[in-house]
Structure 1
Amino acid sequence: MAGGWAKDGAEQEQIDNTVEDALQRVRSQIPTGEGLKECEECGAPIPEGRRQALPGVRLCVGCQEAEDAAQQATSPYNRRASKDSQLR
């Protein structure tokens, strides 16, 4: 139920836009092109199976996990207090 100047369905439209923005951000981070044989961070060899599973891979598993943890710690989204999570 929208109130004030908001049109009906405005809440769902806002949720849809938030989800689409997040998907675009994640899609832009997906590596493309030929993957590396050695990790660009630590120089460790990247196994053939990982390179086949993730075309464009640039990091070994350990460095990728560290990068994912760092990105999650600095995420601009407060998932616990977001209005989207309260609407579900």
Structure 2
Amino acid sequence: MGDWLDDAKAIEEREREWCIQAQRARPRPSGPSRSHCRDCDDEIPAERQAQGGIIRCTPCQTTFEKGNRR
């Protein structure tokens, strides 16, 4: 019989797997990326543009995603 620490570890592993699956299920952007950010007009780095479908720089995307969680 496991102790409380084993139970907590099992719960944490299940939650981590659920979060990973939920993230992978989210729709990914596709198509050509913009060269400049839609919000601040700063240049989007080439590495980020290579992902495809990118329309915002990282700071603006972070702000956008945090705003959608409220």
Tell me the TM-score range normalised by the shorter chain: 0.5 to 0.7
TM-score (norm 1): 0.48
| Aligned counterpart, 1:81 | none
| Aligned counterpart, 1:14 | none
State the 4+ residue runs in structure 1 displaced beyond 2 angstroms.
none
- Structure 1 gaps of 5+ residues are 1-18, 74-88
| Aligned counterpart, 1:57 | 54
Higher-RCO chain (CA-CA 8 Å, sequence separation at least 6):
2
TM-score (norm 2): 0.60
State how many pairs are aligned. Answer: 48
RMSD: 1.8
- Structure 2 gaps of 5+ residues are 1-20
User: What per-residue deviation string (whole Å, max 9, x for no partner) do you get for residues 7-64 of structure 1?
Assistant: xxxxxxxxxxxx99xx4xx32xx32110000001110000001111x21100001110
The code of the aligned residue for 1:59 comes to R
